[in-house]
């Protein structure tokens, strides 16, 4: 269980005394190949708003993180999109930061000023926060939408933003179930690159409800932990 932050943590608006350094662009993501521009971003958000209106539960990820690291924990929503999960994490009492390479999705996310959102590429991420994160979350198929070949760099950068003992939580669809434009990532490769980034394997499930992972699972929810702490 990740420890809670103490009084050293300020609200997101005060997270950096000077602001993080400008983000360095990475190679075009697979996401940018299928969805780009303000209209696509608004349509993506609208899809989730309609699901919520229909009563679909959109907060399994935030609950999972909260069970792992009770609020107020520092959580980085890596590939946050329009803020679906980061906004809920803030509502639950976490100090959440959302980053995404898609500037149009970040513009939508920034309409909610309670959470800090930044345009940044995960493969070059360097927030140089004065505080590191207790949990880094890759929710909603960020991994299959990365630019090809960047997963090792992304995991190295995310591990660099964790406190010792902090958790990396990633949920993504597997071969045969990946959404359009995404590329399937084998969990064995994911684990290999996580290990290379200094992360040890904690557990794997087939969904945010902790259903068991089996050879037939079409979704992997993986938890790794940074050594130390």
Which stretches of the chain bind ligand SAM, using CB under 6 A? 26, 29, 31, 79-81, 84-85, 100-102, 105, 121-123, 139-142, 145-147
Cβ distance to ligand SAM smaller for residue 52 or 227: 52
Helix (H) or strand (E) holding 38: helix 38-53
Strands (E), 64-132: 74-78, 95-100, 116-119
Number of residue whose CB is nearest ligand SAM: 140
Nearer to ligand SAM, 12 or 26 (CB): 26
Q: How far is the CB of 8 from ligand SAM (least distance, A)?
A: 27
CB of 85 to ligand SAM, least distance (A): 6
Q: Kindly state the smallest distance separating residue 204's Cβ from ligand SAM, in Å.
A: 19
Least gap, CB of 142 to ligand SAM (angstroms): 4
Distances (CA, A) of 23 to 91, 126, 201: 27, 7, 29
**Which one, 158 or 187, has the nearer CB to ligand SAM?**
158
Q: What angle do CA 95, 99, 101 make, to 5 degrees?
A: 175
Nearest distance, CB of residue 113 and ligand SAM, angstroms = 19
- If you compute the radius of gyration of the chain from its CA atoms, what whole number of angstroms results? 16
CB of 215 to ligand SAM, least distance (A): 25
At 189, phi and psi to the nearest 5?
A: -70, -40
Exposed/middle/buried for residue 24 (C-beta within 10 Å: 0-12, 13-18, 19+): exposed
Rank residues 101 and 220 by Cβ distance to ligand SAM and give the closer one: 101
Asked if 86 and 113 touch (Cβ cutoff 8 Å), the reply is: no
Residues 6+ apart with CB under 8 A from 193: 151, 152, 155
Q: Alpha carbon of 68 to those of 62, 90, 97, 116, 134: distances in Å?
A: 10, 15, 17, 22, 10
58/165 with CB nearer ligand SAM: 58
Q: Which is nearer to ligand SAM, 102 or 194 (CB)?
A: 102
């Amino acid at each position: 269980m990740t420890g809670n932050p103490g009084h050293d943590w300020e609200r997101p608006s005060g997270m950096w005394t000077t602001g993080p350094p400008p983000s360095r662009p990475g190679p075009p993501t697979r996401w940018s190949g299928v969805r780009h521009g303000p209209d696509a971003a608004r349509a993506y958000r609208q899809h989730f708003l309609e699901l919520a209106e229909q009563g679909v539960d959109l907060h399994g990820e935030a609950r999972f993180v909260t069970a792992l690291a009770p609020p107020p924990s520092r959580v980085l929503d890596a590939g946050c999109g329009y803020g679906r999960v980061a906004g809920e994490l803030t509502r639950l009492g976490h100090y959440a930061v959302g980053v995404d390479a898609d500037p149009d999705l970040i513009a939508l996310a920034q309409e909610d000023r309670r959470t800090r959102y930044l345009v940044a590429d995960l493969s070059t991420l360097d927030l140089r926060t004065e505080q590191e994160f207790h949990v880094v979350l890759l929710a909603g198929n960020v991994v299959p939408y990365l630019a090809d070949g960047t997963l090792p760099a992304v995991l190295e950068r995310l591990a660099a933003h964790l406190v010792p003992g902090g958790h990396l939580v990633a949920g993504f669809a597997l071969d045969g179930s990946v959404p359009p434009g995404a590329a399937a990532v084998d969990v064995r490769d994911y684990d290999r690159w996580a290990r290379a980034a200094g992360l040890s394997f904690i557990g794997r499930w087939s969904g945010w409800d902790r259903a068991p992972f089996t050879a037939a699972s079409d979704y992997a929810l993986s938890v790794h932990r940074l050594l130390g702490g």
